[in-house]
Amino acid sequence: MTGDRPLVLVLLEMALLVLLGPLVTGAIQKMKARLQCRQGAGVLQPYRDLIKLLRKGTVQADTASGFFRSIPVLVLAATVAAGALVPVVRVGPPAFPLGDALMLLGLLALARFLTAIGALDAGGAFGGMGASREMTIAPLVEPVLMMVVFSTALTAGTTELGALAAHRGTSWIVAWHAADFLGFAAMLVLLPAETGRIPVDNPDTHLELTMLHEGMLIEHSGPGLGCMMLATHMRQIVTLGLVAALFFPALPADSAGATGLLLGAGAFAVKILVLALYLALVESSYAKLRLFRVPQYLGVGFACALTALALRIL
């Protein structure tokens, strides 16, 4: 099979995403701190947290089954696998059969499902509540994400992200079709929900009763918790990468060779940073929504995505 992205490149990209994941979280935290006139922790803080956690021992609830121990590994594996599907430094179809955007969303959903199962398995009250809430929100987010993907995929005739991004080529906002605007709007609404941030979730605390994601992690400890945290960072950068692939696909330069790869990586970093800045801005300027308000908030994204789809088809 021929393709623009050989196996080595895909694996490299995946590793890059795993390495950069915590950095994005750190950057968002730093930007948030600056926006709120605080000094804030350094951008490398998530790495330090991870290292600290990996060194610690594990404590497990009495009620938890043996399955609980394997949950973090499975979640991390699913999320990292999802990372392989996002084009980073170069667009174009992969040289070997690889999943598409639907596979990516499926893997993220699987990770989410495993996280919830783990939280329920541990038997804690917080975990159960977090899981039930997460499962209330997830069905509202995932179909909409899928619709956004479809609304862009319709023009390219493929849902494979690399090929899709290549088809979109170097188009910038000027060349956007009307549906792209609405799809992007839907994506902007959904991003905080998918990355577990304000106004849907609050990543900074697991003490409030309003939290979703952090509640599910509360029973994990030591290396397990580290894996879960890394999976969260990974999910965030994968989601941002998905947005970048769908809406800001490629560099204008005909990238080939080492310089092309470097340029691609640089462009990717810029795209991710811009989206991260958006997340930081949203987190700083909005308050957490009451849980019962969340469906209404996500409804805006749903309406936008559906309209985008309608615009594309009609």
**Which chain residues interact with another protein by CB under 8 A?**
174-182, 185, 293, 295-297, 299-300, 302-304, 306-308, 310-311, 314
**DSSP 8-state assignment for residue 95:** S
Q: Residue 308 Cβ, how far from another protein at the closest point, in Å?
A: 8
Nearest to another protein of 113, 181 (CB atom): 181
CA 191, CA 40: separation in Å to the nearest integer?
A: 23
Nearest to another protein of 48, 293 (CB atom): 293
Q: Residue 293 Cβ, how far from another protein at the closest point, in Å?
A: 7
Nearest to another protein of 30, 168 (CB atom): 168
Q: Residue 173 Cβ, how far from another protein at the closest point, in Å?
A: 8
Q: Residue 40 Cβ, how far from another protein at the closest point, in Å?
A: 29
CA 78, CA 71: separation in Å to the nearest integer?
A: 11
Beta bridge partners of 5: 94
Nearest to another protein of 56, 290 (CB atom): 290
Three-state DSSP at 94 gives strand
Q: Residue 312 Cβ, how far from another protein at the closest point, in Å?
A: 10
Q: Residue 183 Cβ, how far from another protein at the closest point, in Å?
A: 9
Nearest to another protein of 113, 176 (CB atom): 176
CA 214, CA 90: separation in Å to the nearest integer?
A: 34
Q: Which two tokens stand for residue 268?
A: 């990717």
Strands, E assignment, 100-244? none
Nearest to another protein of 95, 306 (CB atom): 306
